[in-house]
Amino acid sequence: MKSAHAPARAAKHSDFFVELDGVTLDYGRGERRIKALGLTNLRIEQGDFVALVGPSGCGKSTILKLVTGLLTASSGYVYVAGREVGARAVRVGMAFQNPTMLPWLTVRDNIMLPLKIVPPFREQFRQKRKTEFRDRAEALLTEVGLANFGDKHPWQLSGGMLQRASLCRALIHEPQLLMLDEPFGALDQFTREELWAIMQDLWMKMRPTVLLVTHDLKEAGYLANRICVMRARPGEIIDDAAVPFARPRTIEMSYTPGFVSMTQRLRELIVAARPAKEAA
Amino acid sequence: MDAQIRRRLASALFIVGFFVLWEVLCRGFGVSDIVLPKPSQIIVTLVERMPALWPHALQTLYTTLVGFAFGIVIGVLLGVLIGSSRLAYDVAYPLLIGFATIPKVAVVPIFVLWFGAGTVPAVLTAMIMSIFPIVVNVATGLATTEPELEDVMRALHASKFDILWNVGLPRTMPYFFASLKVAVTLAFVGTVISETVASNRGIGDVMMIASSNFDVPLVFAGLLILAFLGVALYAVFSFLEARITGWAHRKNDLAMG
């Protein structure tokens, strides 16, 4: 399903918190030009939780980078908080598959990094780093189950612990927009399910607008309000469906017939949209 | 722990053994003092001449450290510039390599021409010797910063300076300190080269005069002082490296499952 988009737009603004309006993105030039993202329209309400699923190379991460302003669209408009991306200072949090902690800082200092950079916290960082900000970091660490690990260094933590810390870093500055690029992708099944529950709790408490990129359909179904299915070459959104289950969701719920048939439908869509196998 | 003590003991024994073998060979074959003096003789010379040698040793150390300090400042500035800008990298790197490959002995006469014989050319030689490894390492450290780390920072709307200060420079510290160990020994080489060519003070000068007087034990005494100073400087920066950038050398015994 493609959302119809209004062509005549007098002033450049959007009524949605995030909107991609006729966006395309090409990499490279001339003959070697690659269409990373075909014509894409996407609208996200404030406080929504949207998952992007699809085969690898379908431009899921590209959409995240467009919305955070790390990439600039080749054509079309990207709006965040009603204005073109970058025009308005929106607090953004990001977490990747690789936790990317700074090895020379303790876990707590790593988590407090956004407070050191982002206004309005930046100005108060010197005064509050040992008091209010420190308490806030500790509170978040407790929430993700890392209560006594603030003074450790990243190399002393396991992969799952680092990913929890990475979530804390993405959330500490109370972002309006949270970008999750396969943050649970490298974890084992049990850690992953535990982190889904934590993520859901945090989202219900703080209500940032979330864009989650994932390969895991169960993860998308558990966490998201809406699931957008993408196909590759060129990357396009081919399906956009609401997830009807009530919150808080549980792992048990993912074994109910309704949930299973939903993930089955998504899976079929992705398989059907997979590009024909290239001649081997 | 036991293994560590054994390793230290082995390396100490090796050093002592080296000098013992030297002594034995000199005595056994009756080698002339003018060709190769015995270690015992060198030490005697060193002790006897110490009052005269001491100011020269200090002079060499002083020259090296001043040149090295300038080298660090200029090296870090150049390294940051080259490492954080693609353009500066492309433009400056070939020239830098050109300068680095010039044998530094060849530059000393030019410095002497400009500044006269003495301390200044020695300081400058020490400086240009030590700049190159620092520039290359700082630039490499900055240029290899993980793009994902930068993405995290850029998504927070961090300025270029924020990224440099919070991510780039701390990440570069291990590279920087590794280069200091190399650079300080090179600075030392630079000082001695310049002192031998054109100076009236310093260990390099002492050795030059001693060798023209065929005072070979004194030449070797100078060499011993140089070796001692060099090892001491290396040890100091090695210690600083371990203290400041310990995080880069992960202690696996602390890691958790």
Q: Are strands A49-53 and A226-231 parallel, antiparallel or unpaired?
A: parallel
Give A74: exposed, middle or buried? Use CB within 10 Å, 0-12, 13-18, 19+. middle
Question: Within a domain: residue A76?
Answer: yes
pLDDT tens-digit map of B143-185: 888 887 888 888 888 888 888 888 888 889 889 998 998 899 8
Looking up residue A32, the CATH number of its domain turns out to be 3.40.50.300
Looking at the fold, whether A265 and A200 belong to one and the same domain comes out as yes
Looking at the fold, whether A183 and A268 belong to one and the same domain comes out as yes
Q: Which residue has the higher pLDDT, B138 or A118?
A: B138
pLDDT band at residue B17 using 50, 70 and 90 as cut-offs: very high
Question: Within a domain: residue A214?
Answer: yes
- Please name the residue of chain B whose CA is at the shortest distance from the CA of residue A110: B166
Q: Above 60 in pLDDT, residue B252? A: no
Contacts with B149 from chain A: Cβ below 8 Å: 100, 102
Looking at the fold, whether A223 and A253 belong to one and the same domain comes out as yes
Looking at the fold, whether A192 and A168 belong to one and the same domain comes out as no
pTM for the full model?
0.74
Instruction: Provide the shortest C-alpha distance from residue B236 to chain A (in Å).
Output: 22
Best to test chain B binding among A117, A148, A181 (most B CBs inside 10 Å): A117
- Nearest by CB to B152, which of A94, A103, A104? A94
- Please name the residue of chain A whose CA is at the shortest distance from the CA of residue B159: A117
Among the three residues A174, A206, A229, which one is the final residue of a domain in this structure? A174
Q: Is B171 on the interface with A (CB under 8 A)?
A: yes
Among the three residues A155, A174, A193, which one is the final residue of a domain in this structure? A174
Q: Are strands A83-84 and A75-80 parallel, antiparallel or unpaired?
A: antiparallel
- Which H, E and C letters describe chain A, residue by residue? CCCCCCCCCCCCCCCCCEEEEEEEEEECCHHHCEEEEEEEEEEECCCCEEEEECCCCCCHHHHHHHHHCCCCCCEEEEEECCEECCCCCCCEEEEECCCCCCCCCCHHHHHCHHHHHCCCHHHHHHHHCCCHHHHHHHHHHHHCCCCCCCCCCHHHCCHHHHHHHHHHHHHCCCCCEEEEECCCCCCCHHHHHHHHHHHHHHHHHHCCEEEEEECCHHHHHHHCCEEEEEECCCEEEEEEEECCCCCCCCCHHHHCHHHHHHHHHHHHHHHHHCCCCCCC
Q: Is A100 on the interface with B (CB under 8 A)?
A: yes
- Using the beta-carbon criterion (under 8 Å), do B156 and A114 form an inter-chain contact? yes
Question: Within a domain: residue A185?
Answer: yes
For residue B69, what pLDDT is reported?
96
Looking at the fold, whether A80 and A185 belong to one and the same domain comes out as yes
- Using the beta-carbon criterion (under 8 Å), do A96 and B245 form an inter-chain contact? no
Q: Is B152 on the interface with A (CB under 8 A)?
A: yes
Looking at the fold, whether A188 and A86 belong to one and the same domain comes out as yes
- Using the beta-carbon criterion (under 8 Å), do B255 and A156 form an inter-chain contact? yes
- Nearest by CB to A117, which of B153, B248, B250? B153
Per-residue pLDDT of chain A (280 residues; tens, 9 = 90+): 444 444 444 457 777 888 888 888 888 777 777 788 888 888 898 889 999 998 877 788 888 888 888 888 888 888 888 787 777 778 888 888 888 888 888 899 999 988 888 877 877 787 777 778 888 888 889 888 888 888 888 888 888 889 889 989 998 888 889 999 988 888 888 888 988 998 999 899 889 999 999 988 999 999 999 999 988 777 888 888 888 888 888 888 889 998 999 999 999 888 887 766 544 3
Contacts with A101 from chain B: Cβ below 8 Å: none
Q: Is A148 on the interface with B (CB under 8 A)?
A: no
| Contact indicator for B187, B71 with CB cutoff of 8 Å | yes
Among the three residues A157, A174, A191, which one is the final residue of a domain in this structure? A174
Could you list the residue range(s) of the whole structural domain that residue A40 is in? 12-90+176-274
Question: Within a domain: residue A24?
Answer: yes
Looking at the fold, whether A199 and A130 belong to one and the same domain comes out as no
For residue B52, what pLDDT is reported?
87
For residue A1, what pLDDT is reported?
43
Q: Is B48 on the interface with A (CB under 8 A)?
A: no
ipTM confidence score? 0.73
Q: Is B167 on the interface with A (CB under 8 A)?
A: yes
Single out the residue of B122, B21, B112, B113 nearest to residue B65, CA to CA.
B122
Looking at the fold, whether A219 and A189 belong to one and the same domain comes out as yes
Domains of chain B: 38-244 (1.10.3720.10)
Question: Within a domain: residue A112?
Answer: yes
* Average pLDDT score, chain B: 87
Our count of domains for chain A comes to: 2
Looking at the fold, whether A183 and A77 belong to one and the same domain comes out as yes
Question: Within a domain: residue A1?
Answer: no
Looking at the fold, whether A162 and A181 belong to one and the same domain comes out as no
What number of other Cβ atoms are within 10 A of residue A10's Cβ? Answer: 5
Contacts with A117 from chain B: Cβ below 8 Å: 153, 156-158, 162, 166
For residue B16, what pLDDT is reported?
93
Looking at the fold, whether A108 and A164 belong to one and the same domain comes out as yes
Question: Within a domain: residue A2?
Answer: no
Looking at the fold, whether A80 and A18 belong to one and the same domain comes out as yes
Question: Within a domain: residue A245?
Answer: yes
Q: Is B150 on the interface with A (CB under 8 A)?
A: no
